[in-house]
Amino acid sequence: MTKEFEQEVEKKFAIPFAELPFVLRLFDVTDRKEIRNDGTDLYTDFDINHRSSEWILYGVTQGLEYCVDLGIRMVDGRFYSLSRSQMI
């Protein structure tokens, strides 16, 4: 993540970047082929260290399709996506 990106995120949330609660949200899109954000998406959140360059996501099943968002999950459960992967 670039310094400019970090500053933009800090400004948006008014929280120091290093203190933001980053998560990877793994969506199972096998049956839906898209993320709808309508409360019925199937996903698992993984708390991460944003400084790491690699993460291992457990629970991935062969033959299913997934999409991953890098985002911030606030204490009240709100999730803000910062970046989304291609479907895999």
User: Cβ-count burial of 47 within 10 angstroms (0-12 exposed, 13-18 middle, 19+ buried)?
Assistant: exposed
Question: What are the tokens at 72?
Answer: 């911030």
Q: What is the pLDDT of residue 47?
A: 94
Range of the domain at 30: 3-84
pLDDT at 39: 72
Tell me the pLDDT of the chain (88 aa) as tens digits.
Answer: 789 989 999 999 999 998 999 999 999 999 887 888 777 788 999 999 988 888 888 889 999 999 999 999 998 989 999 999 999 8
User: Is the Cβ–Cβ distance between 31 and 62 less than 8 Å?
Assistant: no
pLDDT at 34: 80
Alpha carbon distance 6, 81 (integer Å): 14
User: What is the per-residue pLDDT for 32?
Assistant: 81
Q: Is 39 left (phi over 0), alpha (psi -120 to 50) or beta?
A: left
How many independent structural domains does the chain possess?
Answer: 1
